[in-house]
Chains A and B, each alone.
Chain A
Amino acid sequence: MYETLRTDVLVIGGGAAGVRAAIAVAEKGLSVMCLSKAPISRSGITPVAGEGIEAAVAPGDSPRHHYEDTVKAGRGLADEVLVNAMAQEATPRIEDLLSYGTRFKKNPDGTLAQSPRPGQKHARNLFLMGGGWGLMASLFRKAGSLPGLVIREDTQVLRLVTSGSRVAGAVVLDVRTGAVFGVEAKATILASGGYEELWPVTDCPPECTGEAMLMAARLGGELIDLEMVLYYPTVIVFPLAARGWMVQYEYIINPDILGGRLINVHGEQFVKGFPARDELIMAINREIAEGRGTAHGGVYADLTNSPYGREELTRRMEAWLNQFRNLRQVGIDLRDQMVEMAPAAHYCLGGIGIDEYGRTGMEGLWAAGEVTGNVHGANRLSGNALTETQVFGYRAAADAVAWAAGQDWPGGDFQAGVAEEIKNIARWTSAREGLRPIQLKRRLQEIMGKWVAFDRNETFLKNALAALDELEPELAKLRVDGHRRYCQEVREAHEVLHMIPLARAVIAAGLERKESRGHHMRADYPGLLPEARHTVIKLAGGISVSSRPVRKLAHSGGCV
């Protein structure tokens, strides 16, 4: 008999959405287990997120404005019902955070301070002290104070288990010990984040590989708008010591904050004003494509000519730019040198489709946070990613708790699931020859970087599929290191096994969307289609690709 644990609710993911959901479950008195791939508050995307979280708390601002700005930024693809829920409940969730001890920048009168971002009618980004890490650390402290909330770090979900049509829990690898065990749960909440690691240049940490999302889709979930990968415009590509670090252009080019500029290799300023992310990416892309990019394929961020004197600039950099200090640690001083920056995969707009209660359409499975696919649409406002984690983490948990309270244990064949996974691992560890998972990941990333970046066309996307046809059979040759303790390669084998089919789904969605909208730019279809539709990928019983209309709020009055 293999060990099978029981918990009322299983949360997959230890970032801001997952831990928020776990807190909400525990506060209702149900048992909850939260799985995290690595130590909480030291892993996932939340700790590396910028400090902005949107909520309309300022005088003169309102949920209605928040809603309207978000829908507009989504370029027609944001699910209006979800956006409405997010705009309405952002402020109560900020109040929750304040009660957990999360610290925000304040005005001299003690009210919460805001900073402006492109696309906002009112300055709406609250400023988290300590950035995403500050948020995560306070959520973790709150979680640690709640009885009935169990956290398992360094774990990897190997499969979801079903009982009939109901999701009944998961088979889990404890990476620290190499043990494989089952977790039976009345309700499961997926909060496993994005899949940025499919690409070679990303500012997200390497564990963002998307396998749990793919598992859910294989059981019947819908993958919505997977082609919509938000590139952040300004991620360092050179010097190499800081490759993959995002630096907020919103501060760099804001004349009221740092007064810097973005210039091409000829020293020309190629953008004016305060462009949104997708607009800036298009502008940078044009500079690079037309031969005005830098040696390492980017543009320069230049703060060396800031109108603020050195002393004042230093003060402002320390106050606003969370990378200033870290860059100096690796020998890069933005006051003295220009750095080369280019767009990099930053946030997955697409993912599992949900309704306003976080339901996935599968009995027993909810989802929240970046893993979901229809909240923001084709472009996301700065600060809404963290708002999403709090609103939908809470909503999914509340709905899952209400449902789970009346349910029996689901059952499900955990013994067979664990046995099969142990057999897979034994096959990989006993192989004498073959390919290491990291080698296959790098080959996948090369394909995605070359053919499925922000400059897409049908030929490129089909080239990627052909390259994946060659790569996929190599998965049969996986071999991994045989240590049971901290079995990193076993987990990476499991990840890449899912990353390649996930890449196919992303490409299928990219081929389906024959237009350029938000962060999906097709050189062969540069225009917008009159009606915005979601791409829908289903994987249960073979891949199927379709599209459907975007949900609008029922009455034309908009936000309620």
Chain B
Amino acid sequence: MQARLKVFRFDPDRDGTSRHQVYQIPWSEGLSVLEALRYIYEHLDGSLAFRNYHCGRGLCASCLMSINGQNKRSCHFLVSHEEEVTVEPASGYPIIRDLVVDFGIPRPEGSVRDGVTVHRGAVAE
């Protein structure tokens, strides 16, 4: 089975306007958008820019992207083999290239950050 990802591409130095590029990759149970992007980068297209340096498990939020129009952590968003996934840079931040944005200064825990409430790890007071 295959997964289809429609991925935002834009280099402000080179491109007048952005475009979307479609990638097809092998699908397996539990495939996250982040893992899919890693697969694309490693096996299909080394020019695709996303934040390769990430924790991969929902703690660091480096992998925040707009997925099907909503800001999500891509390590936690699973790809379906039935529907194409649209992956774009996280909205609300300046774009560096492709899916990489400048997050700027983080806000305190407990605030609403990146469209999700900041709630990390074990919280029991």
Interface-lining segment among A405-413, A458-466, A476-484: A476-484
Residue B112 at the A interface, CB < 8 A? no
With both beta carbons as reference points, the residue of chain A lying nearest to B47 in the complex is identified as: A481
Cβ of B12 and Cβ of A485 under 8 Å apart? yes
Q: Give, as a whole number of angstroms, the nearest-CB distance from A283 to chain B.
A: 25
- Give the B interface residue count (CB, 8 A): 47
Cβ of A129 and Cβ of B47 under 8 Å apart? no
Cβ of B59 and Cβ of A133 under 8 Å apart? yes
Instruction: Please report which residues of chain A, range 410-464, place their CB below 8 angstroms from some CB of chain B when the two chains form the complex.
Output: 436, 438, 442
- Give the A interface residue count (CB, 8 A): 59
Given A48-B57, A133-B60, A481-B46, do A330 and B109 touch, yes or no (CB 8 Å)?
no
Cβ of A330 and Cβ of B30 under 8 Å apart? yes
Given A43-B62, A241-B78, do A483 and B47 touch, yes or no (CB 8 Å)?
yes
Please encode chain B, from 26 to 39, with 1 for each CB lying within 8 Å of some chain A CB and 0 for all others: 00111110010000
A330 to B62, CA, bound (A): 17
Instruction: Please report which residues of chain B, range 40-73, place their CB below 8 angstroms from some CB of chain A when the two chains form the complex.
Output: 41-42, 46-47, 49, 51-62
Chain B residues in 8 Å Cβ range of A336: none
Cβ of B62 and Cβ of A39 under 8 Å apart? yes
Residue A318 at the B interface, CB < 8 A? yes
Choice from B13, B42, B60, B122 contacting A485 with Cβ under 8 Å: B13
A144 to B118, CA, bound (A): 19
Instruction: Please report which residues of chain B, range 10-27, place their CB below 8 angstroms from some CB of chain A when the two chains form the complex.
Output: 11-14
Q: Give, as a whole number of angstroms, the nearest-CB distance from B15 to chain A.
A: 10
Instruction: Please report which residues of chain A, range 355-412, place their CB below 8 angstroms from some CB of chain B when the two chains form the complex.
Output: none
Given A130-B123, A240-B28, do A141 and B52 touch, yes or no (CB 8 Å)?
no
Residue A120 at the B interface, CB < 8 A? no
Chain A residues in 8 Å Cβ range of B51: 38
Given A131-B59, A131-B121, A241-B30, do A438 and B96 touch, yes or no (CB 8 Å)?
no
With both beta carbons as reference points, the residue of chain A lying nearest to B54 in the complex is identified as: A205
Residue B82 at the A interface, CB < 8 A? no
Cβ of A244 and Cβ of B122 under 8 Å apart? no
Instruction: Please report which residues of chain A, range 197-228, place their CB below 8 angstroms from some CB of chain B when the two chains form the complex.
Output: 205-207
A319 to B122, CA, bound (A): 5
Given A483-B97, A489-B46, do A51 and B54 touch, yes or no (CB 8 Å)?
no
Residue B83 at the A interface, CB < 8 A? no
Q: Give, as a whole number of angstroms, the nearest-CB distance from B14 to chain A.
A: 8
Choice from A51, A129, A325, A486 contacting B100 with Cβ under 8 Å: A486
Cβ of A47 and Cβ of B59 under 8 Å apart? yes
Given A48-B55, A48-B57, A329-B76, do A130 and B109 touch, yes or no (CB 8 Å)?
yes
Residue A232 at the B interface, CB < 8 A? no
Q: Give, as a whole number of angstroms, the nearest-CB distance from A314 to chain B.
A: 12
Residue A6 at the B interface, CB < 8 A? no
Instruction: Please report which residues of chain A, range 474-523, place their CB below 8 angstroms from some CB of chain B when the two chains form the complex.
Output: 480-481, 483-486, 488-489, 492
A129 to B62, CA, bound (A): 20
A325 to B124, CA, bound (A): 14
With both beta carbons as reference points, the residue of chain B lying nearest to A441 in the complex is identified as: B42
Cβ of B97 and Cβ of A486 under 8 Å apart? yes
Cβ of A48 and Cβ of B59 under 8 Å apart? yes
Cβ of A47 and Cβ of B55 under 8 Å apart? yes
Interface set of B (CB-CB < 8 Å, partner A): 11-14, 28-32, 35, 41-42, 46-47, 49, 51-62, 75-76, 78, 96-98, 100, 102-103, 105-106, 108-109, 118, 120-125
Interface set of A (CB-CB < 8 Å, partner B): 37-43, 47-48, 51, 101, 103, 105-106, 127, 129-134, 137, 140-141, 144, 154, 176, 205-207, 239-242, 244-245, 318-323, 325-326, 329-331, 436, 438, 442, 480-481, 483-486, 488-489, 492
In order of increasing CB-CB distance, the 3 nearest A-B pairs are: A241-B30, A322-B121, A131-B121
